Each structure stands twice: as C-alpha cells, then as structure tokens.
Structure 1
Amino acid sequence: MSTTPTPIDQCVRENLQAYFSDLEGEEPHSMHEMLIKLVEKPLLEVVMQKAQGNQSKAAEWLGINRNTLRRKLTEHQML
C-alpha cells in the first residue's frame, strides 16, 4: 500500500521550524541562499535523470535557458 507523499511546502516549513529550533536563539544568516542551494541541487538531479541527461529538454522543463542550466549544473558540480 503506497502512502501519499508530504507536500513539498509542508516539508520545507517543518524543516525550517526544526532549523530555528536547532539555532537555540541564535540569529540565522543567509537563509535564502542556503535554502535555494539545498532545494536546487536535488531538483536538478531529478530533472536531469528524468530528461536522461538531455540539457535542452531539462532546461525547457525547468523554464530556464540552457546556458543558465549549464551554469547551475557547474555550480553544483554536476557536470
């Protein structure tokens, strides 16, 4: 029997709550950049896998330019 996966926004919300709890009162820094990097890499991994490595197709699915995709793949050391 399969279960319904937790919606992505709920997963993010719960993990951010845990993140703030783990800070124990310390103020966070650069959260936007941190979160984008944490979400972007698995997104690129799954899309590239589903597109069978076809960067043009992956870029189209993501709604970004192929050059932007290549830059992001390089940033995440995926090339």
Structure 2
Amino acid sequence: MTARKKARTREAIIARVNGRELPLRNHAERALSDYFTSLNGHRPARLYDLVLREVEEPPFRVVLDYAQGNQSRAADILGINRGTLRKKLKQFGLAGS
C-alpha cells in the first residue's frame, strides 16, 4: 500500500449505518443536532467540554482493545507518545485496562 493510500485510509474513518457508509463527522453532526433538539428551549452550557468528554475517550478504549492492551502499539496507532497515552488512560479511568 502506498503512503498516499495509507493517508487516505487513515483519514477516511467510516462507520456503517443501515447499510450506508457515513463519515464520523456526520455522526457527530447528527448527535449535536439531536442534543440541541432535546434541550426543549433550555440553554446549552459548556458544550465544548461536553463534546470533549463524550468524544475523546472512546478512541482510547477501542484502540487499546484493538491493540490487545499493548500500550506501545496503541500509542503508535493513535499517533501519540506512550507517556501521553498513559496520562489519558489514567484520566479516563482506563489505566488498569
């Protein structure tokens, strides 16, 4: 696989829903639209913090599982160093994983 194709593959995070391929971005947009709909006139508060809490942790959990607990491999897949990975795992309560 060429470097260009690898880059495209990494950028094209795709999820399957109802037989269609939808980019992760579309899922995030839909979730945010649903969030605003569910407010029923209430003001949103600290939306940025909410999004970070909800979106940042799952990749660490999924990648660590994919890497079968191998932190060096997980850090490489995520494109971060092992120290950052360990800090984030502790932050998310995944340090014992």
TM-score, normalization by structure 1: 0.85
**Partner Cα separation in structure 2 for residue 3 and residue 20 of structure 1:** 27
- Percent of aligned positions that are identical: 38
Per-residue Cα deviation, 1:29-66 (whole angstroms, up to 9, x for no partner): 22112112211221111100111111111111111121
User: Does 2:32 match 1:22?
Assistant: no
Q: Which has the higher contact order (CA 8 A, sep 6+)?
A: 1
Match of 2:8 in 1: none
The structure with the largest helix share of the pair is 1
- Where does residue 65 of structure 1 map in the other structure? 81
**Residue pairs, 1:42-61, within 5 angstroms:** 42-61=58-77
Structure 2's unaligned 5+ residue stretches are: 1-17
Q: How many residue pairs get matched?
A: 78
- Greater strand share, structure number: 2
C-alpha root-mean-square deviation of aligned residues, in Å?
A: 1.6
23-32 vs 47-56, greater mean Cα deviation: 23-32
Q: TM-score by structure 2 length? A: 0.71
Unaligned residue ranges in structure 1 (runs of 5+)? none
Asked which structure has the greater CA Rg, the reply is: 2
- Give the Cα separation in 1 of the matches to 2:21 and 2:91: 29
CA distance in 2, matches of 1:30, 1:71: 23
